[in-house]
Structure 1
């Protein structure tokens, strides 16, 4: 899904498309970037969708979200979606996180500069 730029933020989709404690993947065509957006406790968190635990891409959006921790479905690595930090390996590299917010019913993210 391509985003619409608004003050350095990109609109990725409607906020009501993501229930609480759920993750949805998005592909930002203009940035050639695959991200996930999660809603936890009413807050949105955006992060790289592809796990850093292996040479082959494994989508984190298909993993298990427990609170603000997402577990990779391929090798079991766990990441804190608020910081991107590795909680448990085998991954050794953190994932990138992006500022996310809801504005007028739409999810907006700020890609890394």
Structure 2
């Protein structure tokens, strides 16, 4: 397995404490939709941010899941992950503590996109 370096962790960490304290603002529908415009491939569904990623092989999909795990652990913000059909990684984000989407979810989505682009066997 290749060595994977966490990406974007400095950006993600500061807001997490606010989420844990319950003081981070939940985005309203207009704010979430506005942020979604800068996130190609992501969609809003049932109040959650979702995207499916397609990799060249099962091994590449597992490398990508590991990359997501490293970024998520560093941010202490954890998405739901599912691997489908050996090569597809589905990611679902929302801030459970606040029962909605926050800037933390969009920042983590951006870091996940960056991690995906960094893996050779996962075509962007």
Is the pair's TM-score, using the shorter chain for normalization, greater than 0.5? no
Q: Normalised by the size of structure 1, how large is the TM-score?
A: 0.27
Task: Say which structure, 1 or 2, has more relative contact order (CA 8 Å, 6+ apart).
Answer: 2
Q: Normalised by the size of structure 2, how large is the TM-score?
A: 0.26
More helix by share: 2
More strand by share: 1
